[in-house]
Amino acid sequence: MHNAAFRASGFPGWYEAIDLPPEALPTFVAAVRQPPWLGVNVTIPYKEQVAQLVDELVGEAARARAVNTIVRRGSQLIGYNTDSAGFLRALREDAGFEPRGCAAVILGAGGAARACAIALAQAGARHVTIINRSPERAARLVAELELPGVTVASAEAAAAACQAADLVVNATAVGMAGGPAPAALPIPLGWLPRSALVYDLVYRPMETPLLVAARQAGLATLGGLAMLIYQGAVAFELWTGQEAPLAQMRAAAMAMVEETPECSVS
């Protein structure tokens, strides 16, 4: 997606995927302080750790303490989080959903869940409930965020919170190709709300088990690809100072995810 953007804009840059073991992270981030690096995207599971390795956190990254984009300015590293902006833009523009006043449930308590909780609270959601496999991590997240209306649901209250939601966001890695549980649903089928938007941040495959199940239940759905493209566009603009060529980024992202076979749900 970013290489397509570099080609389309004529900006002399390239983008590559680097797979790092945890112990190599500090050395790698230190190397990014020198040219030729413009910056880095950070993905699962390093967003929170990288927040401690940069010199400054800006905007959503400061509140989330999770970084998905590093920008090098001289030898200084600035940490941004473009996930919140990408999340909201996709919600509004691609699903036509206005979060002001809504009751939302976020499944997950990692970096993506943080970004979503901040985005929804700032967009005026009435209530945001966090549900996570490890409840202590959800409780820690809510305590750290200190945002009005953002709470954690106990195991007993989780089903009712989902069923009453206007918006259910999957911010776990469940359903992700190559992830820990590619064929699973992040919540039991019976927890799906009667009428709501189900927004799965997983973008590979485009048709996740949750999206398929939600659509079969007659619910509106939104996949994670639009968010991926919009958060990438913000990162591109931060690195280059140029407007992101969205159409070319979208085409490249679609081609990438279409290489992943669709899931099947029985």
| 28-36, 117-125, 151-159, 174-182 -> range binding ligand NAP (CB under 6 A) | 174-182
252 binds ligand NAP (CB under 6 A): no
Q: Which is nearer to ligand NAP, 165 or 210 (CB)?
A: 210
47 binds ligand NAP (CB under 6 A): yes
| 14-22, 26-34, 168-176, 233-241 -> range binding ligand NAP (CB under 6 A) | 168-176
Question: DSSP readout, 187-235?
Answer: S-GGGS-SS-EEEE---SSSS-HHHHHHHHTT-EEE-SHHHHHHHHHHH
- Residue 47: active-site member: yes
- The Cβ of residue 105 has, within 10 Å, a number of other Cβ atoms equal to 26
- Compute and round to an integer the Cα radius of gyration of the chain: 18
- Phi–psi pair at 197, nearest 5 degrees: -95, 130
Per-residue contact flags (x/-) with ligand NAP for residues 115 to 154, judged by CB under 6 A: -----------------xxx--x-----------------
201 binds ligand NAP (CB under 6 A): yes
Residue ranges in the chain assigned as alpha helix (H): 2-9, 25-31, 47-50, 60-64, 83-89, 111-122, 135-145, 155-163, 209-216, 225-240, 246-258
Q: Which is nearer to ligand NAP, 114 or 127 (CB)?
A: 114
Longest dimension (CA), the chain: 55
79 binds ligand NAP (CB under 6 A): no
User: What tokens does 151 get?
Assistant: 């709470």
Q: Which is nearer to ligand NAP, 145 or 174 (CB)?
A: 174
* 208 vs 262: CA distance, rounded Å: 7
| 26-34, 105-113, 234-242, 246-254 -> range binding ligand NAP (CB under 6 A) | 105-113
CB of 160 to ligand NAP, least distance (A): 19
CB of 200 to ligand NAP, least distance (A): 9
Per-residue contact flags (x/-) with ligand NAP for residues 27 to 46, judged by CB under 6 A: -----------------xx-
* 263 vs 174: CA distance, rounded Å: 12
Specify the length of the chain in residues.
266
In the set 5, 29, 46, 47, the catalytic residue is: 47
40, β-bridge pairs? 70
Residue of 221, 168, 218 lying closest to 191 (CA atoms)? 168
227 binds ligand NAP (CB under 6 A): yes
Binding site residues, ligand NAP, CB under 6 A: 44-45, 47, 83, 86, 108-113, 132-134, 137, 171-174, 176, 180-181, 201-203, 224, 227-228, 231
Which residues have a catalytic role annotated? Answer: 47
